[in-house]
Structure 1
């Protein structure tokens, strides 16, 4: 139980530190914070690959 509390505390501390830093140094302008189209076309195939690999690992690992 102590391990769980430690992990949660560390995650919240990192969240408290990183969110203001990301907001401060985020790109502004015409593209804003949008993800480029060439990256988004790889997201779904990678998610499908991850699910398939997890299923293989679950059944054969």
Structure 2
């Protein structure tokens, strides 16, 4: 029962906090977006490789 109360409280907090962050956060510049987009796909690829290695048992 306590776990359900904690999880519901966190869920409600997310429902309130996320719209506030989206509304009041500064918009990144085009240069910043380009810098970040260059890193996203390589990081996703590294994450997938690490997940596959963990699944195969190569990484404990």
The verdict on a shared fold, with TM-score over 0.5 as the criterion, is yes
Q: Check 1:53–1:12 CA distance in 2 against 1; reply closer, same or farther (3 A cut).
A: same
Structure 2: 5+ residue stretches without partners: none
1:42 aligns to 2:39 (yes or no)? yes
Deviation for aligned residue 1:40: 0.6
Structure 1: 5+ residue stretches without partners: none
Off by >3 Å, runs of 4+ in structure 1: 2-8
**1:18 corresponds to which residue?**
17
Q: TM-score normalised to the size of structure 1?
A: 0.62
Identify the match of residue 51 of structure 1 among 34, 44, 48. 48
Q: TM-score normalised to the size of structure 2?
A: 0.63
